[in-house]
Amino acid sequence: MQSKPTSIVSFSKLHRNEHGGDPVIDRDVFSILEELADEDDPDLVAEIVELFLVDSAERMAQVADADAKSDADAIRGAAHALKSSSANIGALRFSQACASLEAAARGDDLDGLPELVCAALEMYEDVRGAFVRASDESA
Q: What's the pLDDT band for 6 if we cut at 50, 70, 90?
A: very low
User: Cβ-count burial of 110 within 10 angstroms (0-12 exposed, 13-18 middle, 19+ buried)?
Assistant: middle
User: What is the chain's mean pLDDT, rounded?
Assistant: 83
pLDDT in tens, 22-67: 789 998 888 888 888 777 787 888 899 999 999 999 999 999 999 9
| Percentage of the residues of the chain whose pLDDT score is greater than 70 | 81
Q: What's this model's pTM, rounded to 2 decimal places?
A: 0.82
Distance CA 41, CA 85 (A): 21
Question: What pLDDT score was predicted for residue 16?
Answer: 47
Question: Please, what are the domains in the chain?
Answer: 43-133 (1.20.120)
Q: How confident is the model at residue 15 (pLDDT cuts 50, 70, 90)?
A: very low
What is the SS3 assignment for 4-49?
CCCCCCCCCCCCECCCCCCECCCHHHHHHHHHHCCCCCCCHHHHHH
pLDDT at 60: 96
pLDDT tens-digit readout, 95-113: 999 999 999 999 877 788 8
